[in-house]
Structure 1
Amino acid sequence: MNVKILADSACDLSEQYYNEFDIEMVSLTVQLNEKEYKDGKEISPKTIYDAMRQGKSPKTSQVSPQSFKTIFTSYTEANQPLIYFAFSSELSGTYQAAKMIEQEIKEENPDAPIHVIDTKCASIGYGLVVLRAAQLAKNGASTEEILATGEYVAAHMEHIFTVDDLEYLYRGGRVSKTAAFVGSLLKIKPILHVDDGKLIPLEKIRGSKKLLGRIIEIMEKRGTDLENQVIGISHGDDLERAEKLADMIKQKFNPKDVIIEMVGSVIGAHSGPGTIALFFLNENDK
Structure 2
Amino acid sequence: MNERAKSPRGGWLPKWLAPRGLSRARIGVVSDSASCLPAQLLDSEDFIQLGIPIIVDDDVQGEDVNALMMGLAMGKSVKTSRPAPGEFTRAYAQLAAAGCESIISIHLSTGLSGTADAARLAAGSAPVPVTVIDSKTVAMPQGFAIADVLEARAAGAPLAMLEQIASGATANTVYFAVPSLDTLRRGGRISAVSSVFGSLLNVKPILSILDGAIAPIEKPRSFARAQARLVALAQRDALRAQGPVRIGVMHFGALELAHEIADELHPYAHGPVLIESLPAVLAAHTGIGVLGVSVAPLYPQAEAQQPGQAAN
Superposition TM-score, scaled by structure 2 size: 0.80
1:233 aligns with 2:249: yes
Give, as a single letter, the amino acid of the residue that structure 1 aligns with 2:149: A
1:49 aligns with 2:65: no
**Partner of residue 88, structure 1:** 109
**Partner of residue 215, structure 1:** 230
1:189 aligns with 2:210: no
Q: 2 CA distance for matches of 1:187 and 1:245?
A: 22
CA contact (8 A) 1:76 1:114 kept: no
Distance 1:79 1:181, change over 3 A: closer
Name whichever structure is richer in strand by fraction.
Answer: 1
Moved more, 132-141 or 157-166: 132-141
Q: 2 CA distance for matches of 1:204 and 1:226?
A: 28
Q: 1 CA distance for matches of 2:261 and 2:100?
A: 44
Q: Percent identity?
A: 26
Structure 1 residue aligned with 2:284, among 264, 269, 274? 269
Give, as a single letter, the amino acid of the residue that structure 2 aligns with 1:173: G
Instruction: Give the match's secondary structure for 2:204.
Output: strand
Q: 2 CA distance for matches of 1:201 and 1:53?
A: 25
RMSD: 2.4
**Partner of residue 149, structure 1:** 165
CA contact (8 A) 2:61 2:67 kept: no
Unpaired segments ≥5 residues, structure 1: none
**Partner of residue 47, structure 2:** 23
Moved more, 11-20 or 116-125: 11-20
**Partner of residue 60, structure 1:** 80
1:135-174 alignment, distance < 5 Å: 135-152=151-168, 154-174=169-189
Q: Deviation of residue 247 (structure 1)?
A: 0.8
Q: 2 CA distance for matches of 1:279 and 1:61?
A: 25
Distance 1:52 1:197, change over 3 A: same
Give, as a single letter, the amino acid of the residue that structure 2 aligns with 1:201: P
Q: 2 CA distance for matches of 1:116 and 1:93?
A: 13
Q: 1 CA distance for matches of 2:273 and 2:72?
A: 28
Q: 1 CA distance for matches of 2:57 and 2:226?
A: 34
Q: 2 CA distance for matches of 1:187 and 1:139?
A: 50
Give, as a single letter, the amino acid of the residue that structure 2 aligns with 1:117: I
Deviations 1:128-165 (A, max 9, x none): 1111111112222221221112212x120211111111
How many equivalent pairs are there?
Answer: 274
Superposition TM-score, scaled by structure 1 size: 0.87
1:114 aligns with 2:130: yes
Q: 2 CA distance for matches of 1:85 and 1:16?
A: 18
Deviations 1:45-69 (A, max 9, x none): x431232012112221101011111
Q: Deviation of residue 14 (structure 1)?
A: 4.2
Q: Deviation of residue 217 (structure 1)?
A: 2.4
Unpaired segments ≥5 residues, structure 2: 1-24, 302-310
**Partner of residue 22, structure 2:** none
Instruction: Give the match's secondary structure for 2:196.
Output: helix
Q: Deviation of residue 277 (structure 1)?
A: 1.3
Instruction: Give the match's secondary structure for 2:93.
Output: helix
CA contact (8 A) 2:179 2:204 kept: yes
Q: 1 CA distance for matches of 2:71 and 2:269?
A: 37
CA contact (8 A) 1:193 1:200 kept: yes
**Partner of residue 5, structure 1:** 29
Q: 1 CA distance for matches of 2:53 and 2:246?
A: 29
